[in-house]
Amino acid sequence: MADPRAELKGICTRALFERVLAAVRTRHGALDRLIVTGDLTHDEQLATYESLRELLLPWLPRLRLIPGNHDHRERMRQAFPERIQPLGQRNVFVEDVGGWRLLGLDSHVPGELHGRLGDEQRAWLDEQLTAHPGPAVVFLHHPPILVGSQWLDRITLQDAPELLALVRRHANVRAVVCGHVHQERTVAEPPAMIFTSPSTGVQFRTETISLEVDPVPPGFRVLELHPDGRIVSWVERVP
């Protein structure tokens, strides 16, 4: 949030984000890409995006970002003009790193908490996967799976069945990596794995009817993408 001391559910999100970022630098300073899957802001203010850019400045050449539900596409572009690839209104990315294709999707729906990719963006994804015969990872904010919490499963990805059908048609997709649910999940959706990641701020308790804060520390997910197409992934917490 624009106010650096602002709290969400009793947690100063800025302070925790800085702590998580410091741990990433200490533990994985040589990583190839840092991918932020949203929500990038809670208040959607330009000042918040500018502060985020300042915090991420050392990572900028290796940084990729996609929006979540609590985001503003135009302000995100204003703050990170050189890091965003526009696809119509949407903020996406595609990049090949070490033989792997990394694809970032934009599931943002203005004014809504749920997500949607839409026909055009799924057609674009289809083309990008067809054009690259090697292994690929797809990133998007809203997971295309249910997590068993009623309040979260009401604000999920609306065209999840279409995305999963597309992923099943492309055997080169090794993983789909998401945020949004503020909790760690690993679900096999052959041939891909679906991974969700913890938040850098407040964590949500699993399998609840309404929002409950989980006192577990914040964290991040690591992806090891091997040249032979193997993927190894785990979550690290930052006390």
**E strand or H helix at 176:** strand 173-178
Computed over its alpha carbons, how large is the radius of gyration of the chain? 17
CA distances from 224 to 94, 174, 232 (A): 18, 12, 5
Binding segment for Fe ion (CB under 5 A), chosen from 11-19, 131-139, 180-188, 194-202, is 180-188
Q: Phi/psi of residue 33, each to 5°?
A: -140, 140
CB of 142 to Fe ion, least distance (A): 7
Strand partners, 139: 104, 177
Query: Would you say 160 and 138 are in contact if contact means Cβ atoms under 8 Å apart?
Result: no
Task: Please list every residue from 12 through 51 that binds Fe ion, using CB under 5 A.
Answer: 39
Should residue 159 be labelled a site residue for Fe ion when binding is judged by CB under 5 A?
no
CB of 67 to Fe ion, least distance (A): 10
Those residues whose C-beta lies under 8 Å from the C-beta of residue 166, and which sit 6 or more positions away, are: 122, 125, 126, 129
Omega cis (within 30) before 153: no
CB of 71 to Fe ion, least distance (A): 9
Should residue 149 be labelled a site residue for Fe ion when binding is judged by CB under 5 A?
no
Identified binder of Fe ion from the candidate list 13, 41, 51, 69, rule CB under 5 A: 69
CA distances from 235 to 24, 37, 68, 107, 238 (A): 12, 15, 20, 23, 10
Should residue 144 be labelled a site residue for Fe ion when binding is judged by CB under 5 A?
no
Looking at the Cβ atoms of 69 and 121, the one nearer to Fe ion is 69
Should residue 218 be labelled a site residue for Fe ion when binding is judged by CB under 5 A?
no
Should residue 182 be labelled a site residue for Fe ion when binding is judged by CB under 5 A?
no
> How far is 161 from 143, CA to CA, in rounded Å?
11
Q: Which residue has the tokens 């990805």?
A: 157
Binding segment for Fe ion (CB under 5 A), chosen from 53-61, 68-76, 93-101, 123-131, is 68-76
Identified binder of Fe ion from the candidate list 67, 68, 143, 201, rule CB under 5 A: 68
Binding segment for Fe ion (CB under 5 A), chosen from 60-68, 101-109, 208-216, 228-236, is 60-68
Query: Would you say 179 and 199 are in contact if contact means Cβ atoms under 8 Å apart?
Result: yes
CB of 190 to Fe ion, least distance (A): 26
Should residue 180 be labelled a site residue for Fe ion when binding is judged by CB under 5 A?
yes
Looking at the Cβ atoms of 174 and 180, the one nearer to Fe ion is 180
Which residue is closest to Fe ion by CB? 180
CB of 51 to Fe ion, least distance (A): 19
Residue 140 CA to its chain's centroid (Å): 5
Residues that bind Fe ion (CB under 5 A): 39, 68-69, 180
